[in-house]
Structure 1
Amino acid sequence: MNLVKLQGELSKHQVDSALDVTDEALSKEVSLKQEIMQLELTIAGLNDRLARVNVAPEVASLAVEAVDLARKEAVEEYQAKEQALLDHIENAKFTYLNAIVAFRNGQKEVAEKIREAANQVGRSNNLDFPNLREIHWGYTTHPEADGILYGLSNHEISQAINHGIVTKRG
Structure 2
Amino acid sequence: MTVGFLGPCGINLPHIHPRGTEINYALKGDFQTGFFQENGGKFVGHIVREGQVSVFPKGAIHFEQNMGCDTAVFVAAFDHEDAGTLTIADGFFSLPTDILAASLGGVSEDNVMRLGGDLPKNAGFGTEECLIRCGLKKQQDQNIDIRQPVNNYQPY
Could you tell me the TM-score, scaled by structure 1's length? 0.16
Question: Which has the bigger relative contact order, CA under 8 A and spacing at least 6?
Answer: 2
Could you tell me the TM-score, scaled by structure 2's length? 0.17
If each structure's helix is expressed as a fraction of its own residues, which one has the higher value?
A: 1
Rg comparison, structure with higher value: 1
